[in-house]
Amino acid sequence: MNTTVTEATKGQSSLQPIIIIGVLFFMFGFITWLNGALIPFLQLVCQLGEFQALLIAFSFYIAYVVMALPMARVLAWSGYKNAMSIGLGLIALGCALFIPAAYSQQFIVFLLAQFVVGSGLTLLQTASNPYLVRVGPEHSAAARISLMGILNKSAGVLAPLVFTWLVLQDLGHITADSLALLSEAERQQQLTLLASQLMAPYAGIAVAILLLAVGLRFSALPDLPAEAAPVTTNGSETSIWQHRHLVLGVITLFCYVGVEVIAGDTIGLLGSSLNVQGATTLASYTMAFMVLGYCLGLVLVPKILSQRQALAISAALGLLLSVSILVSDPSSTAVSALLWGWAGLPLLPDPVTLVALLGLANALVWPAVWPLALAGLGALTPKASALLIMGIAGGALLPLLYGALSQYFGAIAAYMVLLPCYAMILYYALRGCRVNAGQ
C-alpha cells in the first residue's frame, strides 16, 4: 500500500487535513452518541417497550448495511473530499426530519430521520476512515485513528449532557411514573410538550452541519489518488473476497460495533430499570472511559504495544467485564465508590458502572481493526472500506438481540450477548488478522 502523501499534497503539512478530519469526527461522534440520550427519551415520548426503543438504534445502524455499497460507488465517483461533503448534507437532511417527527409524534418518522442520518454517516465514514489510514505511515494508523477517536468520543461525552440540558432542563420532572398518574388528556399534553423540545436543537444541528458541508467543499483538504490494484501471481486482479483478513475484519467489526452500541445505548435503559436518576446522561460515563482508552492508545501504540497486541488486550478486558456484569449485584455501588467516590461524583449500581467500563475495553478496537483489515489491498481499499462499514450492522442487530433477551431474562442477564462478540475480537487479534492466513 502506498503510505505516503500524494504529489498534490507533497510539501504540505499533514496537520491541516488531520484538523479538518478531526472536526468531522467530533461532529459525527456528537450525532452518533446522541442516541444514548435519545433512546430513553423517545421511549418515554412514544410510550415504547425496550425492544421498540432499540429500533431507534436499529434504524440508525442498519443504514450502514443498506447504503454501504451505494455509498462506495459515490466515493469512487466523487473522490474522498466531495464524498465527505455529500455525507454531511445527508446528515443535515436527517436532522431536519426530526422537526416533522417531533411535531407529529409519529415513531415511524423518527425512524426515517435516523435512517437518513445513518446514511450520511455511512458515506462520511466510508471516506474518512481509509483517508486516515492512507494519509500517513500504515504502522501508526491506529494512533491517528485513536486521535480522531478522542475527538469522536469526547463529543459522545458531551452529547447526552447537552441533550439533557437543552431538552429536559425544565421538564426533568416528567417520568413514566409521573405520567401514569395523569389522565389521558393530561398525559398527551405532557408528551406533546416533551416532543416539541426536540425541534429547536435539531434545527440548529441541521444548519450547523449544512454550513460545515459547504465549508468542507471549498476547503483545502487534499484528495488522495487511486492506488494500483493488487494482483495475483498470474497477473490478474484479485477478488476482494480472497482477502481472508478483510472478511474476518468485517465480522470482527460487526461484533465490535454491536458491543460498543450496547455499552453506549443500553446503559440509559439499564439505569432506568434500576431507578437511577438522570438516566439520559449515563452514556457520558461510557464515552468518558472510551476517551481514556483512546488517550492510552496514543501513548502506547505503536511505541509500546503493536496494533494486534492492543486489540488482544482490549478483547480480554471486554470478556472480563462482561462476566463481571453478569455476576454483579445491582444493590451495590462498590465499583463506582472505588473508581470515583473520592471525587464526590454520584455513585452508580455496579452493573451500570461495569457497562460504562466497557468503553475502556472498546476504545482501541476500531482503530486497530481498520489498518489490519485494509493491509495490502491497494485499489480495492474503497470497496473494502464499504465492506468494513457494513460491519457496523452489528450496531443495528446486536442491541435488538439484547432487547429481546432483556425481556425474557432481565436487563443484566441479557449482557450475555457480549461474550461471543469479545471472543471473536480476541480471535481476530491472535490469528484472524494475519494477511492471507490459512490460504
pLDDT tens sequence across 179-223: 777 788 888 888 889 899 999 999 999 999 999 999 988 887 777
Using only the alpha carbons of the chain, give its radius of gyration: 21
* pLDDT, tens digit (0-9, with 9 covering 90-100), for 243-287: 999 999 999 999 999 999 999 999 999 998 898 888 889 999 999
Distance, in Å, from the CA atom of 94 to the CA atom of 103, rounded to the nearest integer, reads: 15
Q: What is the largest CA-CA distance in the chain?
A: 76
Distance, in Å, from the CA atom of 398 to the CA atom of 414, rounded to the nearest integer, reads: 11
Phi-psi map region of 438: left, alpha, beta (phi>0 left; psi -120 to 50 alpha): left
* pLDDT, tens digit (0-9, with 9 covering 90-100), for 139-170: 666 677 778 878 888 998 999 999 988 888 77
Contacts of 191 (CB under 8 A, 6+ apart): 44, 45, 47, 105, 179
Q: What angle do CA 64, 69, 75 make, to 5 degrees?
A: 100
What CATH code would you report for 15-222+241-432?
A: 1.20.1250.20
pTM of the model: 0.80
Q: For residue 140, which amino acid is it?
A: S
pLDDT-derived band at 60 (thresholds 50, 70, 90) equals very high
Q: Where are the domains of the chain?
A: 15-222+241-432
Contacts of 95 (CB under 8 A, 6+ apart): 31, 113, 117, 202, 203, 205, 206, 209
Cell of residue 260, nine digits: 460498543
CA-closest candidate to residue 196, choices 96, 114, 105, 102? 102
